[in-house]
Chains A and B, each alone.
Chain A
């Protein structure tokens, strides 16, 4: 649809966007407030950023969150892609319905339920395996992996469905094995889906509070857990500074990712046109 929108509708859209953005912008502005009180503007200052850099609890938690995010989303991309291949390429196998169900269920499962059940699993396993007894990074990674997988499978699945199978078959007819044909032909085609689902998994993992809260053992804190305990107590200006940094990083990353994906998509269309000639 490309007809010009009525003015009222467009104004409404602007108000809606303002509603989404005003709180974030206000927070960013106040992160440069010299005064610790919200209602008083005490002049421009970067002291909260300085305080943030020297807060080792926040820094350690941020590093742990990054580490968990990278491992969990990488694992999720691997397992999630395997699940997507299984569901797209093998129309019939024993347990297909079960796999479909297990891939889709985490998306309709409230986090708190997943968190409780996984903690109960780890507690029950603790008697049998030592790694489950020391709840910490490993258990958080496993829990995150389990729900990030769904996002990956669903994204990659739709991409695989639209990928042309004939190319891969041609490669196999020309003598390459199924694995090589997949790696050389299909993998580049689904690469944008892999990249975007990795990013999505990473954000979901790094942002997760509820599930981590359950499966983390005592003494282990991810960044959202530290932020939550600070925020619960009320205003904390260094959280404003942290929020500003997060928004800035995400803004830049989303723009770069958007630009990159548009470029690869554009390149793919060009290649296809070249191939058809």
Chain B
């Protein structure tokens, strides 16, 4: 073996050892952090969901306790789940209400966002960049301040009512605040950019020659839109809908600030259960169900979606 070759194989040997064990230096820090501060909290929540609320610190009964004769006593209470599904319809009702509100707001966002993204993708390239900046800008500004800004438009003596009264379209102010309409407006206003951005990203990449070919072959623009553009932009439609639907279901700030006492979305119920009623076990049970019924299916769907795209 020549010395040069030995050196190469020595270096390869060092690199191989580094590759084999050195990678854990990179993998372990993020892995451990997420395990401790993201995954394990769910296990705690799962455990606490079987407890009963109690006047103590922390405010719930212990799962493990020792009896007088040194036996370990495990208390598994299913009361919370029983209440959740059968005896108290507040939870089921607010869960369904949240799903419905999120679904319809997502649909409206799609109906408004699609034409906007489509128009953006057909503008001149320099205009496109400017439009993109305009759509992104609200996304960077504070969510809370934007909800507050909307409130100052739709409140009883806000700009909308003042304008409509002045124009003579209505003769007494519209009651929008503290209604379902306000919640819808809030969600659409806050999450519209989330719908537009992925839609624009797919529409912008769309191959124009397909549309030209269709038009050369005599297809009307409307038909080629439904037969070519829409199916090809479906990934953007799905991505945008997810980005609106998921935060909308768990939304707490919007129903709290804009909605009336009837807009009992699940996020609000959870919050009240936690901070007003101090029923942590019940809140945990609601959170775990929320996770299993909504986030689980979405996560599995995402996983297969990504896998499919990789292939």
Chain A: CB-nearest residue to B299: A108
Is B174 interfacial (CB-CB < 8 Å)? no
Is A145 interfacial (CB-CB < 8 Å)? yes
Chain A: CB-nearest residue to B143: A207
- The answer to whether A110 and B247 touch across the interface, beta carbons within 8 angstroms, is yes
Contacts of B183-216 to chain A: CB distance below 8 A: 189, 192-193, 203-204, 206, 208, 211
Is B145 interfacial (CB-CB < 8 Å)? yes
**Given contacts A9-B119, A102-B38, A22 and B153 within 8 Å (CB-CB):** yes
- The answer to whether B152 and A1 touch across the interface, beta carbons within 8 angstroms, is no
- The answer to whether B30 and A149 touch across the interface, beta carbons within 8 angstroms, is yes
- The answer to whether A203 and B33 touch across the interface, beta carbons within 8 angstroms, is no
Instruction: Please tell me which one of the listed residues B149, B208, B246, B251 contacts residue A1 in the complex, with CB atoms under 8 A apart.
Output: B208
Chain A: CB-nearest residue to B39: A102
Chain B: CB-nearest residue to A22: B153
- The answer to whether A90 and B149 touch across the interface, beta carbons within 8 angstroms, is no
- The answer to whether B140 and A13 touch across the interface, beta carbons within 8 angstroms, is no
Chain B: CB-nearest residue to A242: B145
In the docked arrangement, what's the CA distance between A99 and B26, Å? 12
Interface size on B, residues (CB 8 A): 93
Chain A: CB-nearest residue to B30: A83
- Tell me, rounded to whole Å, the shortest Cβ–Cβ distance linking A229 to chain B: 11
In the docked arrangement, what's the CA distance between A22 and B150, Å? 9
Instruction: Please tell me which one of the listed residues B133, B146, B204, B283 contacts residue A254 in the complex, with CB atoms under 8 A apart.
Output: B133
- Tell me, rounded to whole Å, the shortest Cβ–Cβ distance linking B187 to chain A: 13
In the docked arrangement, what's the CA distance between A102 and B125, Å? 38
Residues of B contacting A: mostly: helix
**Given contacts A27-B149, A27-B152, A149 and B274 within 8 Å (CB-CB):** no
Contacts of A65-107 to chain B: CB distance below 8 A: 79-80, 82-83, 85-86, 89-90, 93, 95, 98-99, 101-106
Is A170 interfacial (CB-CB < 8 Å)? no
In the docked arrangement, what's the CA distance between A232 and B192, Å? 24
Interface size on A, residues (CB 8 A): 88
Is B271 interfacial (CB-CB < 8 Å)? yes
Interface string of B107-126 (1 = CB under 8 A from A): 00000110110111111110
In the docked arrangement, what's the CA distance between A90 and B34, Å? 18
Chain A: CB-nearest residue to B247: A110
- Tell me, rounded to whole Å, the shortest Cβ–Cβ distance linking A169 to chain B: 10
Is A59 interfacial (CB-CB < 8 Å)? no
Residues of A within 8 A of B45 (CB): 116-117, 120
- The answer to whether A23 and B37 touch across the interface, beta carbons within 8 angstroms, is no
Is A187 interfacial (CB-CB < 8 Å)? no
Interface string of B242-254 (1 = CB under 8 A from A): 1000110111110
- Tell me, rounded to whole Å, the shortest Cβ–Cβ distance linking B143 to chain A: 6
**Given contacts A112-B267, A178-B22, A246-B142, A26 and B153 within 8 Å (CB-CB):** yes
Interface string of A149-191 (1 = CB under 8 A from B): 1000100000000000000000010000010000000000000
**Given contacts A82-B30, A116-B274, A243 and B145 within 8 Å (CB-CB):** yes
Q: Give me the interface of B with A, judged by CB distance under 8 Å.
A: 15, 18, 22-23, 26-27, 29-31, 33-35, 37-42, 44-45, 48, 58, 112-113, 115-116, 118-125, 131, 133-138, 140-153, 155, 157-159, 162, 189, 192-193, 203-204, 206, 208, 211, 242, 246-247, 249-253, 256-257, 267, 270-271, 274, 280, 283-284, 287, 290-291, 295, 298-299, 302-303
What are 25 pairs between A and B in contact, CB < 8 Å?
A2-B122, A2-B125, A13-B116, A20-B138, A21-B134, A23-B150, A24-B146, A82-B27, A85-B26, A93-B27, A101-B299, A102-B31, A108-B298, A112-B287, A113-B291, A117-B41, A118-B37, A124-B44, A142-B37, A153-B30, A203-B140, A207-B143, A227-B142, A246-B142, A246-B145
Given A23-B150, A251-B137, 10 other A-B contacts at CB below 8 A?
A22-B153, A22-B159, A27-B149, A99-B27, A106-B38, A108-B246, A117-B44, A120-B48, A243-B142, A250-B141
Q: Give me the interface of A with B, judged by CB distance under 8 Å.
A: 1-5, 9-10, 12-13, 16-17, 19-24, 26-27, 30, 37-39, 79-80, 82-83, 85-86, 89-90, 93, 95, 98-99, 101-106, 108-114, 116-118, 120-121, 123-124, 126, 142-143, 145-146, 149, 153, 172, 178, 203, 206-207, 209-210, 214, 224, 227-228, 231-232, 235, 239-240, 242-243, 246-247, 250-251, 253-255, 258
